[in-house]
Each structure stands twice: as C-alpha cells, then as structure tokens.
C-alpha cells in the first residue's frame, strides 16, 4: 500500500472514529450480489447496484424509524447516524461470498425497542431493497470502545488491502443537526 493510500485510510478511520461514542447498534447485512470470478467491470457494476439498493434501504429505514413526514420534511433532525461500509468488492475465488454491508447506527428514536429495530431493518433490507435475509445484529449500547472496535473491523479491507472505497460515503448519514439538538 502506497503512502497516499495509507494516509487516506488513516484520515477515514479518524473521521469515522469521532462518532464512535454515538454508535448504539452494529449490523452486517449481505446483499444478493455474488463476487465469484467477476471481471473488474462486472465488479464495478454490482458495487454500483449494491449502493443503489442500499440507498433505497436507507430511505425506507429513515421513514420507518422517524415517520415518512418527519424524515422527509426535516431530514437534518430526523435521521439516524448510519455509517456504511461495503466489503467483498475485491475479486474473489470464494463461490459463496457476497458483497455485504457493515453498518453502524446511532441516534435511533428512544421509543424503538431492539426487536422493533431488527424488524424494521429486515423489512427494509429484505422486502423493500430485495437483499438476502442474512443479517447479524449487535448492540453497542453506547460502549465507545466496542463501537470503535466495530469501526476498525468495518474498515479492515481498507487497512489491510488498501481498498479505501470500502467506505460507502454516499450512504453514510451523519445528522449533525440532530446531535446539536440533544
């Protein structure tokens, strides 16, 4: 990995780690896109499709969590913290590997229980975004050290293999106005 890429990895990691104290939930969710023997062009296509599907999922989840009216009319206040990384985009020899997202969430409405969050997530991911029902959840519970470890895990492809595109910037939401309202 060259020095420029190393610097990018450090900058991304430091930026995202600033929000570790706000992370309350972690989720791994597999897409429907298999990476086995994809050409560079084919991999670019499925990465772009996965990001489009994630955007659809994200919009659905925002509406589920905060109500369609609030999340649309006041998006700066009524959005969860959502940090998205997309792993598996390097050509693979594993027949079963799929592109998968590592998500970190925070700023969820206090009225939402863990079970409700999992149900909303699954509904938006599987039923609306049409992705695989292969989802793992964990509760960070505001544990900054655990959340920081999760972010490190989420960025491992960047740190170990120089894949800085692992951070899905377009689907990350950092609702600064909501943080300031607290």
What is the residue extent of each domain of the chain? 3-181
Number of neighbouring beta carbons within 10 Å of residue 95: 9
0.75 exceeded by pTM = yes
Dihedral angle sign, alpha carbons of residues 34, 93, 170, 85? positive
pLDDT, tens digit, 9 for 90 and up, residues 49-91: 999 999 999 999 999 999 877 666 776 778 899 999 999 887 6
Model pLDDT for residues 108-156, shown as the tens digit of each residue: 999 999 999 999 999 999 999 999 999 999 999 878 999 989 988 888 8
């Amino acid at each position: 990995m060259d020095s420029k890429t190393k610097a990018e990895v450090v900058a991304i990691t430091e930026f995202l780690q600033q929000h570790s104290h706000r992370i309350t939930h972690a989720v791994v969710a597999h897409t429907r896109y298999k990476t086995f023997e994809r050409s560079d062009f084919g991999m670019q296509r499925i990465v772009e499709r996965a990001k489009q599907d994630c955007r659809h999922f994200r919009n659905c989840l925002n509406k589920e969590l905060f109500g369609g009216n609030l999340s649309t009319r006041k998006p700066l206040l009524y959005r969860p913290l959502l940090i998205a990384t997309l792993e598996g985009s390097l050509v693979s020899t594993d027949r079963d590997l799929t592109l998968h997202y590592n998500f970190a969430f925070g700023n969820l409405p206090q009225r939402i229980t863990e079970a409700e969050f999992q149900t909303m997530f699954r509904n938006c991911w599987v039923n609306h975004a049409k992705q695989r029902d292969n989802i793992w959840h964990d509760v960070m519970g505001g544990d900054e050290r655990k959340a920081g470890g999760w972010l490190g895990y989420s960025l491992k492809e960047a740190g170990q293999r120089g894949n800085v595109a692992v951070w899905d910037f377009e689907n990350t939401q950092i609702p600064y106005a909501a943080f300031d309202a607290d």
